[in-house]
Amino acid sequence: MDQQRIIFESSPAYILLCAILAIAASFFLYRDRHPWSKLWNRILFGARALLTFCLLFLLLGPIVKQIKNIFEKPLLVLLVDNSVSVGEVMDSVSVQRVEENLSAVNSLLEDQGFDVKTVNLKGEDRLESTFSESTSDLNGALKKIANRFESSQISGVILLSDGIYNEGISPLYSPYPFPVFTVGVGDTTQRTDVFIKDVAYNKIVYQGNKFPVRVEVMVKNLPSEFINVTLSHRGKVLDQQSKPSTGDQLLVFDFQPMADEQGIQKLDISIDVKQGEYNTVNNRGSVFIEVVEGKKKILLVAPSPHPDIKALREVVEQNPNYDFLLHIPGIEEQKAATLIPDKIDLAIFHQSPDLKGKTREIFQAFVNSQTSLFLILGLQTDIPFLAKQGMPVSFEAPPRDHDEVLPVTSATFSYFILSSQTNNTVLDYPPVSVPFGKLKIPGNSLPLLLQRVGSVTTEKPLLYVNAGDNRRIGVMLGEGLWRWRLNEFERLESTVAFDELFGKLLQYLSTADDKRKFRSYPVKQEFSDTEAVVFESQVYNDIFEPIYGNTIDIELVDEQSKRSQYTYTINPGNVRYQIGGLQEGVYRYTAKTVLKDKDEIVRGEFAVVKRQAELQDLTADFDMLRKLSANSGGKFYAVNRFDDLRDELRKTEAKTILHSEESFNAMVNLKWVFWLLLLMVSMEWFARKFFGSY
């Protein structure tokens, strides 16, 4: 219930004075005879007295204090595990029964005064009773609930699940700010099953070399028998191994196939089906290997050890197509034959050339070459020497001080695209120290990160790229990148944004200029069968300005030589095209457009991977659900004991929280006061006009 009261800046005794003055002023106006009756004279006298009083009253500066009471209902969330493993073990009758019980629980909680939300594993509001999610991340789903409803009063979460998770960490290892009531669905019977538990392999291998493929096979409830595993490629058996099993155990099979053909290759793994197996889908699997010619070499040169080196090394080594080399004079040195610029695709100079001259000679060797460079400035950097070498970084006067600045991504950067999540994450990175002074950079330099001081984004670059005719050079004006990576992991338990930012930067710098005027490619080399394949196309004129309106024809050819045709037109802000419904396999594509009456053609390939992690193990884990409820203060119920859950919920009291908000507003600022005074003035004027006084 809302409450209002009037408070005064001066003594309320002045209200009596206002009333006396209002009556006196009205008396002098209406004491003489007028052409209207005594009754109307008294009405007009009262109206004028009231109007005058209101005006004088407003001069006292009254303030309206309003108290708004908000009643917040306690929130109870129904989290439904909508993964394939749940739907796989339930028929339509069981699904309908579960839906009816969920609806009954929802109605019961609402009648008791709870605010009820029903969500799925992705944290989205559950609108349909489908079980199609390809993975189960129970801990991630509970974390999403805690984050989404952080400002609400969560009384508890009711989790309906089979207890199987195949993504993220175990929910038993994380604390939750609410009790979790679990409802177990599925079958806990231990059936005979032989399935592929995991496959370890390198996604990128090198042509002409053998590469390892390790297959882990789990055996459950099977007497002593031989387990046969076959590795094949395009129907041809590459290798076959057999090992004896002695009951429940994990068997490991190591294969060493040869990488003969360049490109994406699909390897099929199969296990012979044993008698009594209930689930045979998990006896088969596929992996996709990209066979390439060789690795790109990335060299990092520094005068001394630094945490930034570790952070950048982690990013580089995530890409199997890169070979990371570190050279620190006197500590970790590379052979002279390795430090030849022509053999290096990208050289990173961290605080080099340094003031002591340790790395000056090797720096000059790379400056005089065509190798791409990434310069990271710091306290040890010899900035005047840098400027003399023609590098795209110089100051009007040698900087003698440093400034603490925050990073923000530049909207004008166009060499590659960062995700919106990365752009937002960068805003929360801690400050770095940069040289204080007026920076001079060439006109063909484009900032990737700008300097932000407090909440003000400046035009000064923090990280920029100079793309000249001969090579690419990146410049980072401050060291301390390791703090960014550590800060992101501390806040988000991942380093996705940092790895994307510097992973794409290093990839761009280490890649030779693409002079083609037509480019068309899938945004990644491997897609899941549950997502659309996304193509991006770009067309340029003679001076490499993007042009639009071209029609792009895309032809896909699958492993069975079946062809599919697609056509779309690129427009500003719409250079991508999505193709859905593709089955598992390797696809070759041909993209074509017409430029100056000439066909421009691009060819390549990509893979579509079938994700069947949910079908690997269909045995429900009620023990995990019991422990999860016990750890969080909830209780466990089997799906056939829904009545017990409803009885427990009936005993739960919905404690509503009262929030009060106070607001203060000068009465003279209220719109209704203005309209009231205008109405009073108008009515008096109209009456006097009507009776002939004006």
**pLDDT over 90 percentage in the chain:** 33
Average pLDDT, the chain: 86
**Residue 310 in this model has a pLDDT that exceeds 90:** yes
Please compute the mean of the pLDDT values over residues 26-33 and round it to a whole number: 77
- What pLDDT is attached to residue 136? 87
- What pLDDT is attached to residue 228? 94
- What pLDDT is attached to residue 687? 79
pLDDT digit string (tens) for 200-231? 888 778 777 888 999 999 898 888 889 999 99
- What's the pLDDT band for 514 if we cut at 50, 70, 90? low
- CA geometry: angle 204, 210, 214, nearest 5 deg: 75
Please tell me which of 50-54, 165-169, 229-233 the model is most confident about, judged by mean pLDDT. 229-233
Please compute the mean of the pLDDT values over residues 641-665 and round it to a whole number: 78
**Residue 406 in this model has a pLDDT that exceeds 80:** yes
- Strand-pairing partners, residue 571, are 574
- Strand-pairing partners, residue 204, are 290
> Does residue 614 form part of some domain?
no
Q: Which of 230, 263, 291 is the last residue of a domain?
A: 291
Quote the domain boundaries for residue 643: 74-188+619-650
Helix (H, G, I), strand (E, B) or coil at 396: coil
Please compute the mean of the pLDDT values over residues 633-660 and round it to a whole number: 81
Same domain, 551 and 675: no
* Phi, psi of 416, deg, nearest 5: -155, 165
Q: Are 471 and 392 in contact (CB under 8 A)?
A: no
- What pLDDT is attached to residue 35? 76
d(CA 269, CA 612): 14
Structure tokens of 485? 């990576």
- What pLDDT is attached to residue 287? 86
Same domain, 110 and 217: no
> Does residue 119 form part of some domain?
yes
Same domain, 254 and 211: yes
Helix (H, G, I), strand (E, B) or coil at 602: strand
Q: Which of 510, 540, 564 is the last residue of a domain?
A: 510
- What pLDDT is attached to residue 562? 93
Interacting residues of 268 by C-beta distance below 8 A, sequence separation 6+: 231, 232, 233, 284, 285, 286
632 burial via Cβ count (<10 Å: 0-12, 13-18, 19+): buried
- What pLDDT is attached to residue 311? 95
Least confident of 111-120, 297-306, 557-566, 684-693: 684-693
Same domain, 500 and 524: no
Please compute the mean of the pLDDT values over residues 121-150 and round it to a whole number: 85
- What's the pLDDT band for 1 if we cut at 50, 70, 90? low
> Does residue 51 form part of some domain?
yes
* CATH number of the domain that residue 536 is part of: 2.60.40.1940
Please compute the mean of the pLDDT values over residues 233-247 and round it to a whole number: 89
d(CA 182, CA 625): 6
> Does residue 84 form part of some domain?
yes
- What pLDDT is attached to residue 693? 65
* CATH number of the domain that residue 623 is part of: 3.40.50.410
- What pLDDT is attached to residue 513? 67
> Does residue 229 form part of some domain?
yes
Please compute the mean of the pLDDT values over residues 137-160 and round it to a whole number: 88
**pLDDT over 70 percentage in the chain:** 98
pLDDT digit string (tens) for 438-485? 888 888 889 999 999 888 889 899 999 998 767 899 999 999 999 999
Compare 629 and 67 and report the one with higher pLDDT.
629
CA distances in angstroms from 538 to 535, 571, 595, 603, 606, listed in the order given: 10, 10, 12, 14, 19
- What's the pLDDT band for 2 if we cut at 50, 70, 90? low
Per-position b or e across 274-294, b if 16+ CB within 10 A of its CB: beebebeebbbbbbbbbbbee
Same domain, 124 and 183: yes
Interacting residues of 258 by C-beta distance below 8 A, sequence separation 6+: 208, 209, 210
Compare 59 and 374 and report the one with higher pLDDT.
374
Q: Which of 229, 258, 291 is the last residue of a domain?
A: 291
Structure tokens of 415? 């060499």
Please compute the mean of the pLDDT values over residues 55-81 and round it to a whole number: 82
Same domain, 438 and 311: yes
Cis ω for the linkage preceding 353 (within 30 of 0): yes
Same domain, 10 and 53: yes
**Residue 570 in this model has a pLDDT that exceeds 60:** yes
- What's the pLDDT band for 689 if we cut at 50, 70, 90? confident
Same domain, 337 and 485: yes
pTM over 0.75: no
Least confident of 63-72, 241-250, 561-570: 63-72
**Residue 326 in this model has a pLDDT that exceeds 90:** yes
**Residue 315 in this model has a pLDDT that exceeds 60:** yes
The total domain count for the chain is 5
**What is the 3-state secondary structure of 317-372?**
HCCCCEEEEEEECCCECCCCCCCCHHHCCEEEEECCCECCCCCHHHHHHHHCCCCE
> Does residue 284 form part of some domain?
yes
- What pLDDT is attached to residue 261? 83
Interacting residues of 485 by C-beta distance below 8 A, sequence separation 6+: 311, 314, 495, 498
Same domain, 411 and 484: yes
> Does residue 655 form part of some domain?
no
For the CA atoms of 176, 181, 185, 191, the dihedral, rounded to the nearest 10 degrees, stands at: 60
Same domain, 354 and 451: yes
Please compute the mean of the pLDDT values over residues 373-385 and round it to a whole number: 91
Same domain, 356 and 504: yes
Same domain, 284 and 301: no
Please compute the mean of the pLDDT values over residues 374-381 and round it to a whole number: 92
Least confident of 110-119, 268-277, 444-453, 660-669: 660-669
Please compute the mean of the pLDDT values over residues 543-568 and round it to a whole number: 90
Helix (H, G, I), strand (E, B) or coil at 518: strand
